[in-house]
Amino acid sequence: MARRNPEGFSEIASAAFVTNYEVMLGIAYRLVSNPERVDDLLQNTALRVRHTLDPTRSPRSYLARAIKLQYWDEGRILLREGRYLDPTPLEDLVNLPDQTPSPEQQLLQAERRAILDKLINSLPSKQRRLLELARIGLSQPEIADATHLPLGTVKSRIRSAIQHMSTHPAVRKYLEQTT
């Protein structure tokens, strides 16, 4: 077991966090623009991973994933408690046109989602797994780190999955309608 320093962090977690601090800071600023929230997000992420960092895995991808999960968890808590604040000023919302989709548009969107889910489920498991990681926001290098696959393999499998899905008649019809 790794030795713990006085703050309760394992030496591995401390070293990984210090080494990857600039990457973590960049991710935090992409997620939230408020400097105080960035500091809180980094601190809460450090507390989250202080005992769970696995030395056999890539610390960079683990920490990147941890900060995104922390961000999503904090957002869910704020929504649940009704404290989530939309940064859009209220006067800008007054003059917005109603952007609620019509029942027909909602039905079309639901059909498209169902077709997309069906197509994704029909993919080979290797392609489906990588595509799902991309859908949740991981970049291709992060996926390569997380899955221990070469970056070229990740890129080719994702490209093959997208090409396979784009040959489906319903997808082609949708693409023709949008162009």
Tokens of 98: 């109603």
59-81 and 140-147 helices, crossing angle to 10°: 110
pLDDT of residue 152: 94
d(CA 162, CA 177): 18
Higher pLDDT, 30 or 52: 30
Q: Is the pLDDT of residue 158 over 50?
A: yes
When comparing pLDDT for 176 and 121, which is higher? 121
Residue 2 lies in a domain: no
In 3D space, the residue among 46, 65, 56, 57 whose CA is nearest the CA of residue 142 turns out to be: 65
Question: Do 73 and 106 have their domain in common?
Answer: no
Mean pLDDT of the chain: 77
CA nearest to 20, candidates 50, 81, 74, 62: 62
Count how many domains the chain has.
Answer: 2
CB 133 within 8 A of CB 147: yes
Q: pTM to 2 decimals?
A: 0.41
Residue range(s) defining the domain that contains residue 45 = 11-81
Note whether 77 and 101 are same-domain residues.
no
Same-domain status, 110 and 168:
yes
